[in-house]
Amino acid sequence: MLDDRMIRQLLMRAAARDDGSAAAFESLYKQCAPLLLGVARRIVGRRELAEEIVHDSFVKIWRLAESFDPLATQPVAWMIAIVRNRAIDVQSSHDVSRVDYYQNDDSGEPEGALDRLFDWSAAPGEREDQRRTTQWLRECLGELPAAERQSLVLAYDRGLSHHDLAAHMDKPLGTVKGWIRRGMAHLRGCLESRMGAAS
Amino acid sequence: MKIAGQPCLDALCGEYLLGTLRGAPRRRFERALREEPQAALRLRHWQRFFTPRHTPVIDTQPTARSWQRLEDELELARYRTPWHRRLAFWRGWAAAATFALLLTLGVQTLRTTQTPATAEIAQLAGTAAPQVSAGLTHDGRTIELRALRPVLAGPAQSYELWLIPAEGGNPVSLAVLGSLDARFDVPAAQVGRLKSGAKLAVSVEPAGGAPAGKPTGPVILAGAINL
């Protein structure tokens, strides 16, 4: 598990643009590239394409490091977002038909799929409120109707578009869009009620 | 059009994080994030809870060349500690310098031991100085003087070694010395003339040697060459 505090320090060292920046960036790469490559690969399916996406993303991370706000964002999530956005763009421009790959791991029993894809355990050095938020996300996803949960997880983990989802789930586009919209609304409602109950 | 006040803001945030917001709508949303602090704040609220962590199961090792390619493209060498300021470099340098020193010492020791040996050709004796042994290398080109005990010339003096040829004639200067322990090359013209019947003598001369090319001071040592 990547340590957000250490990743944040490495990012800031890279952003300093001094004698130690290259070494810090290299350390950042060595630690994060496997995860980011895994994220990209799940979205585009092809390894060589995923390598290109991670390469482009690290070029962007190096350039954006100076504007990274260390107080506001979780650095690993920040990097994952960069990779995911890039992968989603590449995937739509490559028009890769990949929906067939997902039959096995996501459509079966939803509880298991959630745990296979995501790590819900507490990370070292994680604050109590972060740990609780992770726990709530796991619970709220579990409480969603199966179709909504499945569309959300496929869209997030596999970077599927509305169209991909509609084709994969063999449902009209409007239905899938409705699942996504309602799924996210339910998720937010569930999470906010837990946050409200806790505070 | 401002997004911040719209009822769809939460839906947009959700779909943005999920990745289903694409193309022109995503670009519009990203512009709004830059321009409308309220929109950025709302997204941050969403990010607080919607950032599931992937399990390490999905980790995929990049190929070996991938980092090098990135380093080259970003020209990261500019942001590395220069070689002369790196501690490891100086550690390496110290090791290398020590090694070089040892090598030099070794070579010099070797050289000393490889110095061609001399054979004694004369014993020089006198009342005013300790006995000196004169040796000559096998090729006849190098003389070595060894005093019984070390003797140095005074500040205003030099010792001068003379060859008195076997066939007679004037003494020929072989060397001007500061010490009676010395090793030096025989002047080219005299090579072959240090032979039985000739004599060696040492005189005390002004510093720098006899001014006129012939002995002026007292002769303190003398001996016949006997090959």
Each residue's pLDDT tens digit, A107-142: 445 556 777 778 887 766 667 777 888 888 889 998
Mean pLDDT check: name the lowest of A10-24, B31-45, B53-67, B88-102: B88-102
* pLDDT number for residue A110: 52
Contacts of B198 (CB under 8 A, 6+ apart): B163, B164, B165, B166, B224, B225
Q: Which residues contact A160 (CB under 8 A, 6 or more apart)?
A: A99, A154, A168, B20
- The Cα A174–Cα A193 span in angstroms is 28
The rounded distance, in Å, linking the Cα atoms of B14 and B47 is 9
| A92–chain B Cβ distance below 8 A for any pair | yes
With beta carbons less than 8 A apart as the criterion, state whether B119 and B226 touch: no
State the DSSP code for A71: T
Q: What is the CATH architecture of A99-199?
A: Orthogonal Bundle (1.10)
CATH 2.60.40 region(s) of chain B? 118-224
- Which residues in chain B have Cβ-Cβ distances shorter than 8 Å to A38? 54, 58-60
Consecutive H or E run containing A178: helix A173-198
- Determine whether the interchain pair B56/A119 forms a contact, defined as Cβ–Cβ distance below 8 Å: yes
Residues of chain A with pLDDT under 50: 99-108
**Of the partner residues A118, A152, A195, the one whose CB lies closest to the CB of residue B53:** A118
For residue B212, the model assigns a pLDDT of 82
B chain contacts of residue A37, beta-carbon cutoff 8 Å: 59-62
User: Does the pLDDT at position B27 exceed 70?
Assistant: yes
Edge to edge, the sheet with strand B157-164 lists B172-177, B157-164, B199-206, B219-224
Of A123, A125, A105, A103, the C-alpha closest to A114 is A105
% of chain B exceeding 70 in pLDDT: 95
A35 contacts B58? CB cut-off 8 A: yes
Q: Judged by CB atoms within 8 Å, which residues 95-134 of A form the interface with B? A: 116-120, 123, 133-134
Q: Is residue B112's pLDDT more than 50?
A: yes
Long-range contacts of A99-105 (CB under 8 A, 24+ apart): A99/A160, A99/A164, A99/A167, A99/A168, A101/A45, A102/A154, A102/A158, A102/A168
CB-closest option in B54, B73, B82 to A39: B54
Where are the CATH 1.10.10.10 domain residues in chain A?
99-199
Helices in chain B by DSSP H: which ranges? Answer: 9-18, 23-35, 37-49, 65-74, 87-114
The two structure tokens encoding residue B59: 């980790």
The C-alpha atoms of residue B35 and residue A26 are separated, in whole angstroms, by 33
Alpha-carbon gap, residue B178 to B151, rounded angstroms: 9
**Look-up: residue for tokens 């200067």?**
B173
ipTM of the complex: 0.83
* Residue A180: closest C-alpha in chain B: B15
Closest CA to B200 of B157, B149, B164: B164
CATH of domain A1-96: 1.10.1740.10
At residue B122, the pLDDT reads: 92
pLDDT digits (tens, 9 = 90+) for B66-98: 999 999 999 998 888 776 666 777 777 788 888
pLDDT greater than 80 at residue B37: yes
Is the per-residue pLDDT at B201 higher than 90? yes
Element containing residue A75 per DSSP (H, E)? helix A75-94
- Tell me the fold of B118-224: Immunoglobulin-like (2.60.40)
Confidence of residue B200 (pLDDT cuts 50, 70, 90): very high
Query: Dihedrals φ, ψ of A120, to 5°?
Result: -100, 0
Q: Which residues does chain A have within 8 Å of residue B82's beta carbon, measured at their own beta carbons?
A: 19
Instruction: Please name which of A22, A27, A35 lies closest in space to residue A7, comparing C-alpha atoms.
Output: A27
